[in-house]
Amino acid sequence: AVADTLEARIGANGVLPNIFGVGGDELLAKVKGLHIIACGTSYHAGMVAKYWIEDYARLPVSVEVASEYRYREAVVPAGTLFVAISQSGETADTLAAMRESRRRGYLGTLAICNVPESSVVREADLKLMTRAGPEIGVASTKAFTTQLAALALLTLHLARQQGLDAARYQELSDQLHRLPRAIDEALKLEPQIVELAERFVHRHHALFLGRGAHYPVALEGSLKLKEISYIHAEAYPAGELKHGPLALVDEDMPVVAVAPNGPLLDKLKSNLQEVRARGGELIVFADNAAHFDGNATRGALLRIDAGGDFIAPAVFTVPLQLLAYHVAVLRGTDVDQPRNLAKSVTV
């Protein structure tokens, strides 16, 4: 699904022209900032995009849950593009937010969506379709990774437009080409994750930690566990641990950490040390290139080839989704049809 979403939109030299529809490149050329709204999993995709677009295109991005947007008087800086992300394109809050945005003076609207004939797509000025195919389960999985692929294309488009160094642009675009293969590799971790899932079956709570663009990935991992296995899970930016959640950590609290390679790794390691010192069980998903002392990790250490700093959030998502899936299977819950949830929240 990720390969389909990227296909015919990214060439050897990067993102191709006019992938956002008629007049898309012209409208995007005027963008001075973005406001992203979405619900649930789609909101987490928007949070990743904030890190990407601010890092690489140096444009300011705000992200908000769609269910709050229309109930406050937003200040809209000139040149702001309104971006709605939705798998279904029929989520009532997302649609209502987009309609409300019309009277608030945005530059225009962009829909990132999986259903071409949906209301959100029909009403948006620009569109970028994800090609996830039908999502059978209520909990979004490939919707999320394809949304990240689409948002990575948007990031690259804006980065080039905003004058990102050509060599760095090319390197990011090469990474994006590698994303489908990196996800295939991550899926091969499944046998290890099946074993890991045993540790969660009789647990009541779990903590997920990440830093930077991997904080929303941790949020998404915790949401998947909540949605399909009914285990209470929370996610925090790892640096926030000491500001409260550390009080929850004891030997009954599994702590899942996303540990990509990069400048934040040392910071993350010292956060994890705080967990270890309190007897917490650590489950670390670490990049192959990240130096990690497996012996010092009470719990488990799984290695992933993230394929590069840019695409890492999409790759690290996969083992977290697999973990939630296998915990749910072991607990005997209905993975496709979790209690109390609807695929499309249209009221």
Please give the positions annotated as active site. 343
How far is Cα 126 from Cα 25, in angstroms, rounded to an integer?
Answer: 10
Using an 8 Å Cβ cutoff, are 97 and 84 in contact? yes
Residue 131 or 178: the one with the smaller Cβ distance to ligand F1P is 131
Judged by beta carbon, residue 91 or residue 109, the one nearer ligand F1P is 91
CA 41 vs. chain centroid, Å, equals: 7
DSSP string for residues in 59-80: --EEEEEHHHHTTS-----TTE
Shortest gap between Cβ of 170 and ligand F1P (angstroms)? 32
C-beta separation of 34 from 78 below 8 A: no
Distance CA 108, CA 95 (A): 15
List residues binding ligand F1P (CB under 6 A). Answer: 39-42, 86-88, 91, 94, 138-140, 343-345
What ranges make up the beta strands (E) of 181-280? Answer: 205-210, 232-237, 254-259
Count CA atoms closer than 13 A to 149's CA, side-chain side.
31
Smallest distance from the beta carbon of 344 to ligand F1P, in angstroms? Answer: 6
One DSSP character per residue, 1-67 reads -HHHHHTTTEETTEEPTTTT-TTHHHHHTT-SEEEEEE-HHHHHHHHHHHHHIIIII---EEEEEHH
Minimum Å gap between C-beta 98 and ligand F1P is: 11
CB of 65 to ligand F1P, least distance (A): 9
CB nearer to ligand F1P: give 92 or 265.
Answer: 92
6: which 2 tokens?
Answer: 């990227």
Q: How far is CA 299 from the centre of its chain?
A: 25
Least distance to ligand F1P, CB of residue 293, Å: 36
Q: Among all residues, whose Cβ is closest to ligand F1P? A: 40
| Nearer to ligand F1P (CB atom), residue 70 or residue 343 | 343
Q: Which is nearer to ligand F1P, 241 or 318 (by Cβ)?
A: 318
Least distance from ligand F1P to the Cβ atom of residue 95, Å: 9
d(CA 320, CA 193): 9
Are the CB atoms for 233 and 248 separated by under 8 Å?
A: no
Residue whose CB is less far from ligand F1P, 14 or 46: 46
